Amino acid sequence: MKQARDSAPAERALFYTPESVAIDYERDLGDPGSYPHTRGTRPPNTRRETEGHDFLVRELSGEGPPSRSNEQFHYLLEHGATGLDVIGDTPTQCFMDPDHPYAQHAVGNQGVSICRGSDFVALYEGIPLDRVSCDHSLPGGFAAAGLFLAAETHGHLPELLRGSAILPPLFAEDTGYSSNLPIELHMRLATDSIEFCSERMPKFHAFVEDTYYISDGSVGIVDEMALGFVELREVVRRLVARGLDVDLFAPRIALLVNCRMDFFAEIAKIRASRRIYARMMRDEFGAKDPRSLAINVAAHTSGATMTSRQIGNNIARGAIQSVALYLAGVRAMEISAFDEAIRTPSREAHIVGLGTQHVVQLESGIADVSDPLGGSWYVESLTDEIETKITDRIAEIEALGDVVELAENGYFRAIFTEAMVDRSREVVDGTRPVVGVNINEIPPERDTLLRDLLENRIAPCYDRIEEIAAWRASRDMGPVVTALDNLERLCRDGSNIMPGIVEAMRSEASMGESIGVLRECYGRPYDPMGCVERPR
């Protein structure tokens, strides 16, 4: 059952022929930039030396306090990055302030520590926000609010802001960073921020459906996309139910997908996903604006395919994944750093990640022609097969009932945990070949290449904890309490909470305080750990 549901290499033919596919070119493919966007969402522009196809080259980054991450951003931009992609440390991702007792040894060492409006201002100091695309793996709602505030402070018009924010409302508690939020609150943060950005930051992709979080380390490509579409469809339904015109927000929905090692299946998955989206938005949600039918796909290569043994091999894996993504026509990518399996990415690994993208893009000619695999009997057949499997799976899940209830009741968590165990088992029993781990291994004493990087750790930022504790104690509490009360009122009366979040940041309320108030509105304790109390 599980095998049939996913796309398994063992089930594929040994070779493909014209009889393997039944393609109607206009109906199923179209030129790049044309409906149904199987071959890409934009018509190729004039080929420009060194620029490929307006491709965003970036590396996932962020460490320490905002000022250190800001230095990192400038360093990456100076070394050829054309966009930024920031991730918070674990407390930040959990909507937890750095001075929370549970956060003490996790501040700033696996991402940047962010908990207040001025942190966003410091994070983007000197960055040309009107020109550089800034992508955020930061808490839903707060990322967009923080960028809005930073732009305002640095004198950039919000209308010009580019970039994106990841919103994983349905699965955040199960596959990403659990923050002890009810799924309904995750949904509220997602839908309110999309509505807010549609009006105030219209160039910003306020809703990145992130199937990387859903899939890495667990489910296969069919469930990756099926679950992603289930989440995306629920968000779209809710926005339409509010009375929003689908064409107001749909042009700024994007996909961030995973890319593992099943090379052609990953390419077919991305082509199939663009087609599914185009047909779904036109036929089911009634979108009319051509931009609403064309979803930009970005990708992050799989951290779970990086191995802690023979880590030099991870550079090869990143290059192969990068080739797949260029062939699939993604608009932006990050390559998981080769040291991802054993540490927060080092500066050296970041540079190798950027260099890999540059070598593939600029030296190989791979980006010169759009969708070069279009028309391949194998790739078209695989695209059709994966499309059918994804749409069948979406229908199967949605037939079970309300998807938010399914999430609250642990239905999806069961899928993820079973898949995590299965994947681990496949590596142990050799079903899934992993070089250096279950085949062609070398003894540990000879596995020395690049290993010296592993002991070079990023220490927790205890200074940051002290700084935030001192800041908290020194604030004028009047505006903080007023802003939090206002946020509560907006939440309880059904208004959009985003202006309240921005105002709370301006008034020096912390993210932990704001989310605590929102938790209370949904019947949860202010601090699920019972360590801190709401300011009154």
Partner 1 sequence: MTPTTRLRVLITVLGLDQHEAGALAVSRLLRDGGAEVIYAGRFQLPETIATTAIDEDVDVVGISAHSWEVLHYAEELALRLGQADPPIPIVVGGSVITAADQVEILSKGIDATVLPTAPEEEIIATFYRLAEARRPRL
Q: Which residues bind partner 1 (CB under 8 A)?
A: 90-91, 93-94, 96, 102-106, 109-110, 176-178, 217-218, 304, 308-309, 341-343, 417, 420-421, 423-425, 428, 444, 454-455, 457-458, 460, 529
Q: Smallest distance from the beta carbon of 462 to partner 1, in angstroms? A: 10
Closest CA to 335 of 72, 343, 320: 320
Which residue lies nearer to partner 1 by CB, 8 or 341?
Answer: 341
CB 445, min distance to partner 1, A: 10
Helices (H) and strands (E) in the chain, counts: 20, 9
Q: How far is the CB of 174 from partner 1 (least distance, A)?
A: 10
Name every residue whose Cβ is closer than 8 Å to that of residue 26 and which is 6 or more positions away in sequence.
none
CB 29 within 8 A of CB 38: yes
Indicate the residue among 206 and 461 with the shorter CB distance to partner 1: 461
- Which of 66, 111 has the CB closer to partner 1? 111
CB of 83 within 8 A of CB of 57? yes
- Between 81 and 465, CB nearer to partner 1: 465
Measured CA to CA, the distance from residue 335 to residue 318 in angstroms comes to 6
Q: Is 462 helix (H, G, I), strand (E, B) or coil?
A: helix
What's the closest the beta carbon of residue 285 comes to partner 1, in angstroms?
A: 33
Map tokens 């395919």 to a residue: 305
Give the SS3 label for residue 205. Answer: strand
- DSSP codes, 315-332: HHHHHHHHHHHHHHT-SE
Cross-strand bridge partners of residue 519: none
DSSP 8-state secondary structure symbol assigned to residue 204 = S
In the complex, the smallest distance separating the C-beta of residue 80 from partner 1, rounded to whole angstroms, is 29
In the complex, least distance from residue 511 CB atom to partner 1, rounded to whole angstroms: 15
Greatest Cα pair distance, the chain, in angstroms, is 73
Nearest-approach distance from CB 424 to partner 1, in angstroms: 4
| 474: Cβ contacts below 8 Å, ≥ 6 apart | none
Which residue, 316 or 428, is less far from partner 1 as judged by CB?
Answer: 428
Query: What is the Cα–Cα distance from 221 to 8, expressed in whole angstroms?
Result: 10
Nearer to partner 1 among residue 477 and residue 529 (C-beta): 529
52: left (phi over 0), alpha (psi -120 to 50) or beta: left
Q: How far is the CB of 110 from partner 1 (least distance, A)?
A: 7
What one-character DSSP code corresponds to residue 361? I
**Residue 387: CB atoms within 10 Å:** 23
Judged by CB, which is closer to partner 1: 92, or 296?
92
Residue placing its CB nearer to partner 1 in the complex, 25 or 462: 462
Nearer to partner 1, 261 or 427 (CB): 427
Q: How far is CA 244 from the centre of its chain?
A: 24
Q: Which is nearer to partner 1, 342 or 481 (CB)?
A: 342
Joined together, the tokens standing for residue 366 give 């791979």
Q: Which helix (H) or strand (E) holds 377?
A: helix 377-398
Are the C-beta atoms of 239 and 278 separated by less than 8 Å? no
Shortest spacing between CB 469 and partner 1, in angstroms? 18
User: What is the spatial distance between Cα 269 and Cα 249, in angstroms, rounded to a whole number?
Assistant: 24
Alpha carbon distance 327, 372 (integer Å): 7
Q: How far is the CB of 84 from partner 1 (least distance, A)?
A: 23
